[in-house]
């Protein structure tokens, strides 16, 4: 079974802090994704990556950056956290042709920025 592991289940940070959300998958998937989920807004794509060192902006990339130095790991970085970034963050992975393959999600990180 595919396992996508997010480093923290809950995280509380202060405004202005630099925040790292880590995600690791164990199935050698090429594609990795970061979504945020907010009530009434569904899942919105922040960034995704189709290969190591490759990244592409999703629908709401502002205020975020990502890093993919190794195939199995995809990090989401909040350069200077703000209260409007309080949300549930979901990492996902899929094999090549990701839009044609199921996404496997991690358990999520609930981030609170105070």
Partner 1 sequence: GQQVMQIPQYQHVQEGEDFTTYCNSSTTLSNIQWYKQRPGGHPVFLIQLVKSGEVKKQKRLTFQFGEAKKNSSLHITATQTTDVGTYFCAGPSLNSGGSNYKLTFGKGTLLTVNP
Among 11, 43, 60, 77, binds partner 1 (CB under 8 A): 43
Q: Which residues lie closer than 8 Å to 36 by C-beta, 6 or more apart?
A: 43, 44, 46, 60, 87, 88, 89, 90
Min CB(29)–partner 1 separation in Å: 13
Stretch that binds partner 1, among 22-30, 57-65, 67-75, 78-86 (CB under 8 A): 57-65
Stretch that binds partner 1, among 13-21, 40-48, 68-76, 77-85 (CB under 8 A): 40-48
Q: Which of 17, 59 has the CB closer to partner 1?
A: 59
84 Ramachandran zone, left/alpha/beta (phi>0; psi -120 to 50):
alpha
How wide is the angle at C-alpha 53 spanned by C-alphas 4 and 106, nearest 5°?
A: 10
Min CB(87)–partner 1 separation in Å: 14
Residue 74 touches partner 1, criterion: CB under 8 A: no
Place of tokens 């907010």: 38
Token couple for 15: 């405004």
Residues lying near partner 1 in the complex (CB under 8 A) = 33, 35, 40-45, 48, 50, 56-59, 90, 98-100, 102-108
């Amino acid at each position: 079974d595919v396992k996508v592991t997010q480093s923290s289940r809950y995280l509380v940070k202060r405004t202005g802090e630099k925040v790292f959300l880590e995600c690791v998958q164990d199935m050698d998937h090429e594609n990795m994704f970061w979504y945020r989920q907010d009530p009434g807004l569904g899942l919105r794509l922040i960034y995704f990556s189709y290969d190591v060192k490759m990244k592409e902006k999703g629908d709401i990339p502002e205020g975020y950056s990502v890093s993919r130095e190794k195939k199995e790991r995809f990090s989401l970085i909040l350069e200077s956290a703000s209260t409007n970034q309080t949300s549930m963050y979901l990492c996902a992975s899929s094999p090549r042709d990701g839009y044609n393959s199921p996404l496997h999600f991690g358990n999520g990180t609930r981030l609170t920025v105070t």
